[in-house]
Amino acid sequence: MQTHLARLIGSRAPADGNAQCDPSSRKPPAPCHRRCPSPRGQRDRGLRAGSSTVHPSGADNVARVKVRPRLLVVSLLTAAIVSLGLGWAIARSSTDTSGGSDSADSQLRPPTIETNAVVKGDGLPDVDVQTLDGTEVSIRSLGGQPMVINVWGSTCVPCQKELPDFAAAHLTYGDQVRFVGISFLGASDREESFARDRGVQYELLYDGDGAFINNVGIAAFPVTLFVNADGIIVRQTGQLNEESITKFIESDLL
């Protein structure tokens, strides 16, 4: 009898000597040396076994980061106003710079024939110019017959181009009209040779001190004055060719 009971108890004991707990079983578990975990306890251990841990303080931190719509709108409006202000300042600066450049260009723009004073209808000024050897010659003393006065200089490109045309016109009308070339540069052999090398045979004078040019109001070259026998300027022009010179002599002086 005792032997039978011992066998019966031994068949119910676990192999490791500990009682096995089955939470899903409806039967009460057998006594065991360790406390049997509850289903809730198993879930808690499952969470602790994972890589992520949820801390109560995390919920607090998320709650503190709150988007405030009013502050966001104010920030956006401020940024827009600042952007508009910067854009206006840049545009204003560009306009001022452009305007300044135009002003500077107008001030630096070289004079043109239109810049010269209008002397048509005026008499020749009472000033002196010089010959190559430095002799003083009165401009008014040149009158008494129709005259073509060409104001030129060897450094003036348009002046260089028209010298042969005046030389040709002089060959045609030199016996009827007096041709005079007045250089705005000082008298020099180089200046004299420059004109002679281009066929000029008429009288050459020099206005090295600018007395004639300043009195007549010349700022741009070349200039040609057509003067009648009474010493009155009847036409003033810029650069000419032989055809134009011939036309004005025929219409204004002969």
State the Cα angle at 156 between 152 and 160, rounded to 5°: 75
Task: Give the three-class secondary structure for 20.
Answer: coil
CATH of the domain at 242: 3.40.30.10
| Residue 184 domain boundaries | 128-253
Q: Find tokens 């306890």 and name the residue.
A: 41
What local confidence, expressed as pLDDT, does residue 199 receive?
97
Q: What totals of helices (H) and strands (E) does the chain contain, helices first?
A: 8, 7
Is residue 176 in a domain?
Answer: yes
User: Do residues 128 and 218 make contact, with C-beta atoms less than 8 angstroms apart?
Assistant: no
What local confidence, expressed as pLDDT, does residue 165 receive?
98
What local confidence, expressed as pLDDT, does residue 15 receive?
45
What local confidence, expressed as pLDDT, does residue 79 receive?
73
Is residue 228 in a domain?
Answer: yes
What local confidence, expressed as pLDDT, does residue 143 receive?
87
- Joined together, the tokens standing for residue 254 give 């002969």
User: Do residues 209 and 132 make contact, with C-beta atoms less than 8 angstroms apart?
Assistant: no
Is residue 25 in a domain?
Answer: no
Is residue 62 in a domain?
Answer: no
Is residue 33 in a domain?
Answer: no
Structural domain total, the chain? 1
Q: What is the CA radius of gyration of the chain?
A: 56
- Joined together, the tokens standing for residue 128 give 């002196």
What local confidence, expressed as pLDDT, does residue 71 receive?
66
pLDDT in tens, 175-192: 999 999 999 998 999 999
Is residue 64 in a domain?
Answer: no
Is residue 229 in a domain?
Answer: yes
Q: Give the Cα separation of 56 and 51 in Å (integer).
A: 16
Q: Give the Cα separation of 110 and 139 in Å (integer).
A: 28
| pTM for the predicted model, two decimal places | 0.58
Of 228, 221, 218, which is closest to residue 249 (Cα–Cα)?
228
Task: Give the three-class secondary structure for 46.
Answer: helix
Residues of the chain with pLDDT under 70: 1-74, 77, 83-85, 87-114
Is residue 175 in a domain?
Answer: yes
State the Cα angle at 162 between 213 and 148, rounded to 5°: 55
Residues 6+ apart with CB under 8 A from 36: 21, 23, 29
